[in-house]
Structure 1
Amino acid sequence: MAVRTLLVCLTALWTMLSRAPFLYAETVSHFGQVVDAAGATEDCLSCHDGQIATDVGYCLGACALSSAHPVNRPYPPRGKEQSFRSAEELKGAGIRFINGTMVCISCHDLHNPGRHQLVIEMNESRLCLACHLK
């Protein structure tokens, strides 16, 4: 029982500290929460789990035309480099990667007040074509 209580307390402490504004390098207000605008996928999923905010767990699955693009994948995909623009080229468009990996903030910019807070608006698939050559 004592171990379980300790785990509950440590989890609660971690939740409070992980959302504390002083820990973030680039804080932004996001639907009433102070979040890291340059956060990792795990940061996004801490709220976007269907309980607090819209569930985006499907982003972690296989890419399908009917769902969002998967994240936590290397960019460009191994063996398909010729079909994608270089990561260096995309920096100018505001597309960011963390350690060579496509994450939520690769496509979403929490500073953008527009719908879905996209880095590049989807007019005529502009966001998709920023990375994909074919």
Structure 2
Amino acid sequence: MFRNILVPSDFTEKSLHAAKIALQLARLQKAAKVTLLHIVETIEGAEDDEFADFYEKLRKRAVGNMQKLVKSLGGEASTVQTAIVFGKRVPGIIHFVNEHQVDLIVLGSHKIDLEKVPEGLGTISYKVGIFSPCPVLMVK
């Protein structure tokens, strides 16, 4: 059913939980793969060479955090692929989905305060759920 599962990660506990759920789903499918994706947010309107050193530091930090995330998944992590890309988070996730034929996104979601519903509608998980061309599983 789901052969290519994407887990966007910001390296929080919610991302770790989503990755564990994705691995459980992948285990149900014999040929399913799980990809952990981290988007390094870029500064709009800034020249790339202007911030090259800054972005390189962020990339190195992301690589280290990704390695820690994979390690914390234990033995099942041997089948996990990783990707780090630069851009805006929501468009970057949707672009990755389209380019890599992802058929399920699993991501952490925040609980929405019923007294502040409009604020919850601006979250990354909500926007990904709206714009995604494939099913999205939001994990709380």
> Whose radius of gyration is greater, 1 or 2?
1
Name the one with the larger strand percent: 2
TM-score, normalization: structure 1? 0.26
Higher relative contact order (CA 8 A, sep 6+): 2
